[in-house]
Amino acid sequence: MNSIKHKKFIYLDNSATTPIDPLVAEKMNETIRTNFGNPSSIHTIGRHAKHLLEESREQVALLLNCLPEEIIFTSGGTEADNLAIFGTFANLPKEKRFVTTKIEHPAVLNSAVQLNRLGYPISLIPPDKFGEVTVEAVDNALSKDTAMLSVMHANNEVGTINDISRIAELAKSKGILFHSDAVQSFGKIPTDVKNLGVDMLSLSAHKIYGPKGVGALFVKKGIEISPTTFGGMHENAKRAGTENLPGIVGLGMAAKICRENMQQHSEYVSSLRDHLQMRLIAELPDFTINGSQSNRLASHLNITVSDVEGESMLMFLDLKGIAISTGSACSSGSPNPSKTLLAMGLTVKQAHSSLRITIGKNNTLDDINLTADELIKAVQHLRGMGLNV
């Protein structure tokens, strides 16, 4: 299987990655073919490349309501998270603490583990049963030695959205640097960094119909971080290495499309999600919805189906050409139950019986109805076979 003609597939794993928007692909293709220059070169060919680079930076800055010079392009959300954390702690003594949450993406969680190995104390804040990190829980976790706090904007597994502006206010009142991983929310809900009140914020292109391998870190003017890669003076001397111009151009274009269509896409996607949810409530016995139902990304439906293995449902649907996920995409292939679901209070058995369906702008009502039909059939079949967990 060298290429996936996604017409034949129903793709409902948009939280793991999104299919590239044709307009983004077209713009990247054109850049690769006609704009090979190095943005650092002084000649005309270099200046053309530099122009495209800065045009994309402006597009990303528009969606964040920040200055273009506050954007550092990276190789993706993971590198942006790493740069925020290690770029901050590079300047701090070993007694300073990093506080984050139990529901972060591995890009933040495993950075915290590594910081701890280097000798820095860390704390992990538990979410409530809806997967929300409350201001009260954050307040309880912040100690005198805390230098930096990182709380994700929206969770990648259940879609719950955190009240970042109130958490930022709290951090600010205590003089603590505040970072938010907004990879899931950027381009889908407003991420105005002034309203959110963040010092740093991470984003990625491939979750918003852009290319893989490119993202950015917003760093508020006046906040000093150290580079974590060393070389040339690219990206304000914060991220050395010749810029991935086609990728960055793709990110800029993806951000522009999101900015121009955010409301419309969000309404469309949530109408599909709500339809799916309603059909399952009416026709699927014994399942529960994970995460907040009022305060959730439009795309997400995370459910626990009693007495059926998540993996079995995934395989059953995959045979029908329907792509969904069990726990986090990043832990698929590993048998570990989702850390987010466990932190929300689900048992290991319940976590293993969970599915994540994430809808995107390319899905249709037919996709959703077919998926509901097949999922209901899969559950009937698997329960009937006694393949219980």
Ligand X SMILES: *Cc1c(COP(=O)(O)O)cnc(C)c1O
Catalogue the active-site residues: 330
Question: In terms of CB distance, is 215 or 360 closer to ligand X?
Answer: 215
Q: Which of 39, 197, 215, 227 binds ligand X (CB under 6 A)?
A: 215
Q: Give yes or no for a contact between 351 and 342, defined as CB atoms under 8 angstroms apart.
A: yes
Question: In terms of CB distance, is 253 or 280 closer to ligand X?
Answer: 253
> Edge to edge, what strands does the sheet with 215-219 contain?
71-74, 215-219, 200-204, 177-181, 146-150, 97-101, 122-125
- At closest approach, how far in Å is the CB of 240 from ligand X? 19
* 107 forms part of the interface with ligand X (CB under 6 A): yes
Given the rule CB under 6 A, which of 35-43, 177-185, 225-233, 304-312 is the region that contacts ligand X?
177-185
* 296 forms part of the interface with ligand X (CB under 6 A): no
Cα–Cα distance list, 319 to 18, 223, 312, 386 (Å): 20, 50, 11, 20
Size of the site for ligand X (CB under 6 A): 14
* 76 forms part of the interface with ligand X (CB under 6 A): yes
* 299 forms part of the interface with ligand X (CB under 6 A): no
Question: In terms of CB distance, is 50 or 206 closer to ligand X?
Answer: 206
* 304 forms part of the interface with ligand X (CB under 6 A): no
Given the rule CB under 6 A, which of 72-80, 129-137, 167-175, 317-325 is the region that contacts ligand X?
72-80
- At closest approach, how far in Å is the CB of 145 from ligand X? 26
* 184 forms part of the interface with ligand X (CB under 6 A): yes
Question: In terms of CB distance, is 132 or 181 closer to ligand X?
Answer: 181
Q: Which of residues 126-155 bind ligand X (CB under 6 A)?
A: 152
* 187 forms part of the interface with ligand X (CB under 6 A): no
- At closest approach, how far in Å is the CB of 158 from ligand X? 12
Q: Which of 56, 59, 78, 350 binds ligand X (CB under 6 A)?
A: 78
Q: Which of 156, 191, 299, 338 binds ligand X (CB under 6 A)?
A: 156
> What does the longest C-alpha to C-alpha distance in the chain come to?
70
* Side chain identity, residue 241: G
Q: Which residue is nearest to ligand X (CB)?
A: 77
Residues in contact with ligand X by the rule CB under 6 A: 76-78, 105, 107, 152, 156, 181, 183-184, 204, 206-207, 215
